[in-house]
Amino acid sequence: MHYASLLKLLDGYHGTRALVMGDLMLDRYVYGGVERISPEAPIPVIAIERTSDMPGGAGNVVRNLAALGARATLIGVVGEDVWAEALRAQLAQAPNVEARLITDRLRPTTVKTRYVADGQQVLRADRESREPVPHLVEQRLLAEFSSALSDTDIVILSDYEKGVLTESVVRTAISKARAAGKKVIVDPKSKTFAKYRGATVLTPNRAELQAACGFKCESDQEVILGARHSLDDGICEVMVVTRGKDGMSLLEPGSKSTHLRTTARGVFDVSGAGDTVIAALSLGLAAGGNIIDAATLANFAAGIVVGKRGTATVTAGEIIGMLRPAADHSDRHKIFSLDYALQLAEDWHQQGLKIAFTNGCFDLLHPGHISLLDQARRTGDRLIVGLNSDLSVRRLKGPGRPAQGEVARATVLASLKSVDAVVIFTEDTPLQLIEALTPDILVKGADYSVDNIVGADVVINGGGTVVLAELIQGHSTTNTVQRVAATNK
């Protein structure tokens, strides 16, 4: 594994444009606790505490694309019901996602409701239609697809067998995309892969491959044999088989195969893991990576997302934390996951070193940033910088920001002598990061006052101090971006 090349590929995710078409659904989670068994039947009674909705299926693919720094266009079908409105509202809140939803009044919006009691999923209830969409809806899907195709770098077809990706839709979409020079990545659910003929990459899981080839695919050799028929028949150019605890396998034309073992540290929920894989894999290919490097990043992404609860997403910053060679302590590698940063902080505290902390977006690093970081470093023995993720920056500053992706911003910060560690956070504020790291000194610019600095009370109550750094006037990333935009008009 080449850290530098994978880091460069991750940076290429930012700003990549992806077109996703497929089965859209609403994932609803109902959380509660179980304290008794029903007197009516031998089933648990869940005392409902809260519910949580999020886009699922193709909707979860675009959520993952956006979380990784890309722009995504989603084409899907919904019914005319309250669930469709809930989906539209969810997608409207997703940064860098354009939803082109087609209403079919004769079918329900697909809803998967998962009941989770005391951390365990005890029931799933599906509301759906598996009937193929009518010809008129097919035409509308393909019209939207054609109009969006020129403004995309890669095409993803997310098939959950809910009737949207009919043979006609899939065949035409693949033909149009390949004619336009676009790679097509397919997450298949059909029992036969024939309808995906012409795809660049297919990403079946083990069960889907077994259903398609008709025999067990447990060992590496069995997976190779199972995939070889589709490859030899020209269904796709490459097959990436996700194999749960056994990682994933890459099968290319001829006899070339590569097996990547799982990177998961713990598995809480596999819901939507395939969506994360196809998102990361597609962005790696769109950014110019080869299939092995793209799949390596997707494998790390899968290892992260299964360690989260619910239909979750992964950020580029989280992948960096997994990529970092554990035994490499060189200055080049200062970008850490929170888990690793916590270990570092504990080691530094045990050595009697004082830890300073500051945070920001640090988009288009300028002299004002450098001065703040230098001043922050002088207040302590080590400096940890909390960096807003791309999603966080978009929420704070709008859809046109950041100008640089989180990987690029983190890499530039890590190159500075004043910085000892960079941790990317996805929340709007660094409060959770400050609470976890417990720094001795919190540093912010003098344009703040102590009483309105996020985390100041945490640091002070822990016996630390808050320092206001002197500002250098006349430098602003926002002003720079505005000047560049005005120049280019």
SS3 for 454?
A: coil
What does the alpha-carbon distance between residue 140 and residue 114 come to, in Å, rounded to a whole number?
A: 31
Catalytic residue selected from 11, 153, 187, 275: 275
Residue range 223-257, pLDDT digits in tens: 988 898 889 888 999 999 998 888 899 998 877 88
Residue range 127-184, pLDDT digits in tens: 999 999 999 999 999 999 999 999 999 999 999 999 999 999 999 999 999 999 999 9
What does the alpha-carbon distance between residue 448 and residue 27 come to, in Å, rounded to a whole number?
A: 41
Q: Residue 388: exposed, middle, or buried by beta-carbon count in 10 A (0-12, 13-18, 19+)?
A: buried
What does the alpha-carbon distance between residue 250 and residue 227 come to, in Å, rounded to a whole number?
A: 9
How is residue 201 written in tokens? 């990459």
CATH dotted code for 3-26+56-106+128-322: 3.40.1190.20
pLDDT of 327 over the 50 cut: no
CB atoms within 10 A of CB 132: 16
Q: Give me the half-sphere count of Cα atoms (radius 13 Å) on the Cβ side of residue 79.
A: 17
Contact 74, 66 (CB under 8 A): no
Q: Give me the half-sphere count of Cα atoms (radius 13 Å) on the Cβ side of residue 341.
A: 29
Region 441-455: mean pLDDT is: 91
Q: Which CATH superfamily is domain 326-487 in?
A: HUPs (3.40.50.620)
Ranges of each domain in the chain: 3-26+56-106+128-322, 326-487
What does the alpha-carbon distance between residue 133 and residue 102 come to, in Å, rounded to a whole number?
A: 11
What does the alpha-carbon distance between residue 483 and residue 469 come to, in Å, rounded to a whole number?
A: 27
Give the dihedral sign, CA 154/159/165/169: positive
Q: Is 53 tagged catalytic?
A: no
Residue 391's pLDDT is 85
How is residue 431 written in tokens? 């409060």
**22-31, 81-90, 181-190, 212-221: segment of lowest average pLDDT:** 212-221
Residue 190's pLDDT is 85
**112-121, 299-308, 416-425, 454-463: segment of lowest average pLDDT:** 299-308
In Å, how far are 24, 294, 387, 441, 442 from 359, measured between CA atoms?
Answer: 37, 30, 6, 12, 9
User: What is the DSSP track for 267-326?
Assistant: -S--TTHHHHHHHHHHHHHHTT--HHHHHHHHHHHHHHHTTSSSS----HHHHHHHHS-T
Percent of the chain with pLDDT over 70: 92
CB atoms within 10 A of CB 408: 22
Residue range 475-487, pLDDT digits in tens: 565 555 455 445 5
pLDDT band at 474 (very low <50, low <70, confident <90, very high): low
CB atoms within 10 A of CB 67: 28
Give the dihedral sign, CA 140/146/152/154: positive
In Å, how far are 158, 308, 454 from 276, measured between CA atoms?
Answer: 12, 12, 32
Find residue 359's DSSP bridge partners: 386
SS3 for 196?
A: helix
Q: Are strands 248-251 and 236-242 parallel, antiparallel or unpaired?
A: antiparallel
What does the alpha-carbon distance between residue 80 and residue 84 come to, in Å, rounded to a whole number?
A: 6
Nearest to 384 by CA among 360, 358, 353: 358
pLDDT band at 79 (very low <50, low <70, confident <90, very high): very high
Q: Helix 3-11 crosses helix 406-414 at what angle (to 10 degrees)?
A: 130
Helices (H), 150-272: 167-179, 206-213, 220-232
